[in-house]
Structure 1
Amino acid sequence: MTVARAFLVEALERIADGGDVAESELDTAVPDPFALDPAEKTAWEELSHWADDEDIRERDERYAASKRERMRDHVAALRSHGR
């Protein structure tokens, strides 16, 4: 597992379990998202949207719950398409 993939899995699981990830953390851990494979890039995009959508999640609890559940789907995709 690459360092980027390991970070993505950890961050996705953290959010799915009620945690958070900041855009700065994502940028530091994955400085070149264009170098990711397709499953990793999709997960990175989901995490990036999460970091940008704090205001929406604060207003809409169902949206936040839905996004957290989607994180679990991305973890499964990364694990099933592991290198």
Structure 2
Amino acid sequence: MSATRAFLLEALDRVARGGDIREAELDAAVPHPIALDPAEKNAWVELSHWTDDNDIRERDERYAAFKRERMRDHLTALMLKGS
């Protein structure tokens, strides 16, 4: 498993379980998202949206719950895809 995939799995799991991720952390771990495979790219996009949507999540608890569920969906997709 690549270091990038391992990071994406960990970050998706962390957010799905109620944690957070910051844009700087995502950018440092995945400096070239264009090189990702489709499942990884989809996960990266979801995490990138997460880093941008803090203000929305603070105002809308249902949106935050929905986005955490999306993290679980991407986590499952990456685990099913394998390395």
TM-based fold match above 0.5: yes
Distance 1:79 1:17 in 2: 16
The answer to whether residue 71 in structure 2 is matched with residue 34 in structure 1 is: no
**Alpha-carbon shift at residue 69 of structure 1 (Å):** 0.7
Q: Sequence identity of aligned pairs in percent?
A: 71
Shift of 1:74: 0.4
Alpha-carbon offset, residue 82 of structure 1: 1.2
Secondary structure of 1:24's partner?
helix
**Which runs of 5 or more residues in structure 2 are unaligned?**
none
Q: Unpaired segments of 5 or more residues in structure 1?
A: none
Q: Which aligned segments of 4 or more residues in structure 1 are displaced greater than 6 angstroms?
A: none
Over residues 6-30 of structure 1, what are the superposed CA-to-partner deviations in whole Å (9 max), with x where a residue is unaligned?
0000000000000000000000000
Residue 80 (structure 1) aligns with: 80
Aligned to 2:16: 16
Q: In structure 2, what residue type is equivalent to 1:71?
A: M
Distance in 2 (CA, whole Å) between partners of 1:43 and 1:82 is 14
Number of residues of Structure 1 aligned to a counterpart in Structure 2: 83
**CA distance in structure 2 between the partners assigned to 1:41 and 1:82 by the alignment:** 14
Task: Provide the C-alpha distance between the structure 1 equivalents of 2:58 and 2:48, rounded to a whole number of angstroms.
Answer: 17
| Residue matched to 1:7 | 7
Secondary structure at the counterpart of residue 21 of structure 2: coil
TM-score when normalising by structure 1: 0.98
Separation (CA, whole Å) in 2 of partners of 1:30 and 1:82: 18
DSSP 3-state at the match of 1:21: coil
SS in 2 for 1:20: coil
